Amino acid sequence: MIADDEAWHAVLERDRAFDGRFVTGVLTTGIYCRPSCAARHPARGNVRFFADGAAARAAGLRPCKRCSPDDVSRDERAVLAAIAAIKAAEQPLALAALAGEASYSPSHFQRVFARHTGLSPAAYARALMAERAAQALSDEGSVTEAIYAAGYSGPSRFYEANEGRLGMAPSAWVNGGKGSAIHWAVVETTLGAMLVAATDKGVCRLSFNEGRDALEARFPQAELIEGGTAFAALLRQVVDAVEAPGDFGHIPLDVKGTAFQEAVWRELRRIPPGETRTYAELAAAVGKPRAVRAAGSANGANNVAVLIPCHRVIRTGGGLGGYAYGLEIKRKLLEKEAK
């Protein structure tokens, strides 16, 4: 069962990709619907989410006659069966095999799967393995054991699959950064006090008006080292990027998010300095035009301000929208880039 906030967002967007994953119960009318139901949206306080129609019926609700939530389409059944097969498989499954089980051609099945999940079957399997690896790295005693526990055939396959991804080195995922060294400093800038922190892979935190306590909360088991000779050179690059914004794609990053968040962050880094995008344009750029709020949430989950330029995203109509460190800093950044 997905989180209530995500489910409610899917209902507001009438996102068909969530049909079959849960049903929406409306307590005041006594009915339950698909997430994509075209009926008028109920008040949030009158809604409860159920894993399926059986659970909703057990709560005394009846199916909506407009969207027929119990009539799962052939495409939905095929996608749900493929997801179950991918999750149960010990090795990646071929597209042809998944399509054959549904009696679809591989190309048609790939389109159907992507329409419902936002990913191809192969990308879905890779994202699933990466999430399993992240979880296993938090639980297992060694990185190697965690990689095998996630379903990879060996460490080399793990690193090949994750090459080019924004993401902390596996050792930094374990137990709040246990075994990792993070260098940090707080410096004064024209935007205020700025915290910069980095592992040996790249910048893992850039924020304003924060200090060591913020790092301890995120990496409680890491070794936090203030300053450092090698770190000083990277720090100078970061300060220059903030004071004279331009193309700072050369500055290495060490961050981790979900597959969707990382896709949003990559698009943010593609926005040229001096330009802005709306939240709707950002969602469209990652191939999920209806996921405007989700794109906004991914934008807000950015841990590396400026270098992943979430300040370049504004509301449709020109409003600044939100910013974790205050609209005054966002306004100043945009003014710097406009010059």
Query: Which of the residues are catalytic?
Result: 33, 310
Q: State the amino acid at position 151 in one-letter form.
A: G
Residues counted in the chain:
339
* Residue 149 in tokens: 């526990």
Cα separation, 250 vs 253, in Å, equals 9
3-state helix, strand, coil in the chain (%, to 5): 45, 15, 40
Cα separation, 294 vs 282, in Å, equals 10
Identify each DSSP E strand in 57-174 by its residue range. Answer: 62-63
Contact status, residue 63 vs residue 31, Cβ threshold 8 Å: yes
* Residue 294 in tokens: 């989700």
Q: Which distant-in-sequence residues (6+ apart) come within 8 Å of 127 by Cβ?
A: 119, 258, 259
Choose among 2, 75, 325, 284: nearest CA to 333: 325
